[in-house]
Chains A and B, each alone.
Chain A
Amino acid sequence: MCIKPGEIVGLTGPVGAGKSTLLRLLVGLLEPDKGIVQIDGCPFHVKKVREMVGVLFQHSSRQLFEKTVYDDIAFGPSNFGFDRRDIERQVNKAVNIVGLDKSLLEASPFGISGGEQKLVSLAGIVAQSPRYMVLDEPFAGLDTKGKTRLPHILQTLQNMGLGIIVISHHLDKLLGVAPRIIYLRDGIICFDGQRQQYLLDDSLPLPPITALMKRLHARGLPVNPATFTVKSAIKQLEYLETGDVDNA
């Protein structure tokens, strides 16, 4: 598989499929038995990779430790040798991208909510200004506000030219952010392709709303079988009710 800059890839699969192992391979925490990992065509060099690839771990709020949120976000950049002014700029940029409340910067990272902690750890990674990012279950532990915020954050990062891999079990959320989906089972890539193709493949697990729309479509209702958001499903069904079939 290959991930390009400016691309968001969704990685999913059952428990034990090897998603987290793949993540560890990508950042050099594990060494591959077979095959190679290349970043920007360069041979794999652990120290360089850690600078180029930012990782958000599943329980990322466990990694916070500094006295203030600001210091915690600055931990990564200061380790990678940014000078003080650059660190400040990076932290401010990251906080803006993530949409964190500026008043939180002086607070202790342990006094804020779980969802905010997740955003702080995400900001810590954005502040390292990596070329690529791997996010393991970024939706887990986020509150509703954070969940609606996250796709926008990813969009901004994508526009900045970052290649992003999102690992998640939440299929509906994943489909919402990633145009390209990779499905992993027992360490083997079963599917790698566009979102629309994924939704039409019957052998792969689907979000409940897609399964419903597919059934309705099979019964002869004029709905889109590749619908994956509840919002769009409601819209289509409303059109059906009013009889405006063309719009549906």
Chain B
Amino acid sequence: MPDYFLSFVPGDSFLHKLDPRTKLIATMLTSILIFRLHLTGLVLLFAFFIVLYDLSSVRIALLRNLRPIAPFLILIFIFQLFLIPGNIFIDLYGFSATTEGLFEGLRIVGRFILLIQFASLLTATTSPAHMTAGIERLLRPLSGKVLGATSFEIATMMSLSIHLVPVLNRFLKEVYQAQLCRGLGRQKRISGLVSLAIPLLRGAFRMMDDISMGMESRCYQGNYRTSLFELKMKKNDWIALMLVFVLLLGFWNLNITLIPSYQI
């Protein structure tokens, strides 16, 4: 099980072997579809997710992925349930829950859950290096004026940020221990947070400054560079993309709802 939210799990499955570009485009298309669909469609899409999950052979903690956003999901659901007018089925101290609210709430929460699960499948089966290479290749046609930077610069920025995450994590731990010894957590909670955030930000900026100076002093130019392993789309990639396209077109107008009278 991966330790962190949205982390990479090494493996050798069908999904791991796909080109990162295929996976990125497929995830993007699926996300568009998710926002288009109603409840029934979402359930079908969830079935599709389970198939992919099985194919990936990684065992990510599906429920744990939701933990960071769980409070928001619950809040959204409650708001929808009680604030949408319609057929009342429960009356709680003047607050009335409606059938329409229930389905709308389920739909919105379902969308978020699916988005997160598809994204976590993408990150679990694609290593950060691959992901960066994929994004770089996808952005290459937009290099220069459109983006304001070349796709290589963006790729460098991304891989640098990814590599710095564990470093900053260690840094934060160090500062946290120092503040603990100065009595952090005894009284003021907010100032406690500030006492961690300011040293962390300062350290991060300093680190970035050092890195950029180090790179410049070693003649980093930031222009076009060839890579050792150029990405290549294989047969499987095209098949997978075709499948996702078919899915997108097939589901596009799938607006059958569970209750015929329910139309939002």
Contact = CB atoms under 8 A, between A and B. Distances in A.
Contacts of B174: 57, 59, 62
Given A75-B195, A110-B202, A63 B183 contact: no
Nearest to A130: B181
B199 A128 contact: no
| Contact-residue bracket for chain A | 20 to 34
A120 interface: no
A50 B178 CA distance: 11
Given A79-B186, A80-B186, A64 B177 contact: no
A51 to B, nearest CB: 7
B180 A50 contact: yes
A24 interface: yes
B253 interface: no
Contacts of B183: 50-51, 75-76, 79-80, 128
B179 A63 contact: yes
Contacts of B188: 79
A36 interface: no
A181 interface: no
Nearest to B173: A29
A110 B206 CA distance: 12
A53 B2 CA distance: 37
Nearest to A59: B174
B195 A29 contact: no
B154 interface: no
B10 interface: no
B184 interface: yes
B184 A24 contact: no
A95 interface: no
Contact of B184 (A54, A79, A124): A79
A62 B178 contact: yes
Contact of B198 (A53, A55, A65, A78): A65
A220 interface: no
B194 A81 contact: no
B187 A81 contact: yes
B25 interface: no
A59 B198 CA distance: 15
A224 interface: no
A128 B182 CA distance: 8
A57 B182 contact: no
A59 B194 CA distance: 19
Nearest to B186: A79
A235 B198 CA distance: 49
A122 to B, nearest CB: 12
Contacts of A24: 177
Contacts of B197: 65
Contacts of B171: 62
A63 B186 CA distance: 17
A125 interface: yes
A196 interface: no
A60 interface: yes
A63 B175 contact: yes
26 contacts: A29-B180, A29-B181, A50-B181, A57-B174, A57-B177, A57-B181, A59-B174, A60-B178, A62-B171, A62-B174, A62-B178, A62-B203, A63-B175, A63-B182, A63-B195, A63-B199, A64-B199, A65-B194, A65-B198, A75-B195, A76-B183, A79-B182, A79-B183, A79-B186, A81-B186, A81-B187
Interface of A: 24, 27, 29, 50-51, 53-55, 57, 59-60, 62-65, 75-76, 78-81, 110, 124-125, 128
Please list the 9 inter-chain residue pairs (A to B) with the smallest Cβ-Cβ separation, ordered nearest first.
A79-B183, A65-B198, A63-B178, A76-B182, A55-B181, A79-B186, A57-B178, A80-B183, A65-B195
